[in-house]
Amino acid sequence: MEKDRDYSKLQGRTLTFHIARTDAGQRIRDYLEHRRFPKAVLSQFKRNPGNITLLKGEAPSPFIDGKMPVFPYGSHQPLFRRMAEGEILRVTILEEKKPSLQLTPVPCDLDVVYEDEDILVVNKPAGMSIHPSIRHYEDSLANALLYRTRSRGEADMVFRCINRLDKETSGLTILAKNMLSGAILSQDVSEHKIQRTYVALVENPGEGELLVGRGEVDLPIGRADDSAIFRCIDHERGQKALTYYQALAPKDGLSPVILRLKTGRTHQIRVHMKAIGHPLPGDYLYHPDYQKIHRVPLHSARLVFTHPITGERMDLFAPLPREILSLTDLSEEALREQILIFSKLFMESVDDAKEG
């Protein structure tokens, strides 16, 4: 039962809010909902003592149902409590300390691009899966993260990967470090609010068949009947999939391509590029041609999103791996500039479509 819960086995993230004049009179629930606190977190506040406290403040509590409630400062506050200007709201999000008994910590030098109390963004190498699997039980990002947290003397955290990359894809991926940041970022993913920009290398079948300029691929993707992994274009049962691309100057039969996804289907870029006649070389599933590269040349190069707690605009880059960049005529600086140009044109086209 909840009353018998051992709160010593909970760990928490505490947030502090200074109540401004514009927020005075709001109920705590309304104030937190406005800051995108999910229902699961708000429900937790009803069960666990000490999650919500108020400090300072001169204004008395308002009448509720004709009665004057007494909620001393420093004690647990109910969600219906109205706040006054100058009060300090402290909210603690508790989570079970879940020992990762089924996960083996494995040493790995993670390339951390950004980290704070709420999120961790890493530049994942190609060949590393996100979660352990039967064939890759100890070489996943989850294994590496567990080793990192324990080696730093930190408590194990629930593994929450927000934008999951294929094992063969390198680049930026976001990990949420607590329940609140995870819930908010997951909602952002479902609402397509996280801007994900990829860079790939694609083949040009012949001199007259170069992939040029900007375009889009709008073809439904489904699972092949005879495989649990392989995906294909399926006009009858497939899910809608939309990919935008910008092809750059080719070199030796390969073109670097900047891509943005409207949807996030499994293997979407790899399937779409193959469908229009420009597969990714080195792709063991869809185009196993290893003459020039021995990995899938696909990289999550840029992420733009709103920080789930601070509201800050996050704009992060991960440089293109050398084995991909060396097959182009681009420098890293030139590629980044092209990504920014493409993103600007992409957003303008989206705005035009909305107005139309």
Active-site amino acid positions: 166
45 near 51, Cβ under 8 Å? yes
Which one, of 309, 308, 311, 328, lies nearest residue 320 by Cα?
Answer: 328
How far is 275 from 217, CA to CA, in rounded Å?
9
CA dihedral 75, 50, 55, 20 (to 10 degrees): -130
Other C-beta atoms lying within 10 Å of the C-beta of residue 252 = 9
Task: Report residue 284 as tokens.
Answer: 């063991």
Task: Report residue 179 as tokens.
Answer: 């329940």
161 near 122, Cβ under 8 Å? no
Q: Annotate the chain with three-state secondary structure.
A: CHHHCCHHHEEEEEEEEECCHHHCCCEHHHHHHHCCCCHHHHHHHHHCCCCEEEECCCCCCCCECCECCCCCCCCECCCCCECCCCCEEEEEEEEECCCCCCCCCCCCCCCEEEECCCEEEEEECCCCECCCCCCCCCCEHHHHHHHHHHHCCCCCCCCEECCCCCCCCEEEEEEECCHHHHHHHHHHHHCCCCEEEEEEEEECCCHHHCCCCEEEEECCEEECCCCCCCEEECCCCCECCEEEEEECCCECCEEEEEEEECCCCCCHHHHHHHHCCCCCCCECCCECCCCCCCCCCEEEEEEEEECCCCCCEEEEECCCCHHHHCCCCCCHHHHHHHHHHHHHHHHHHHHHHHHC
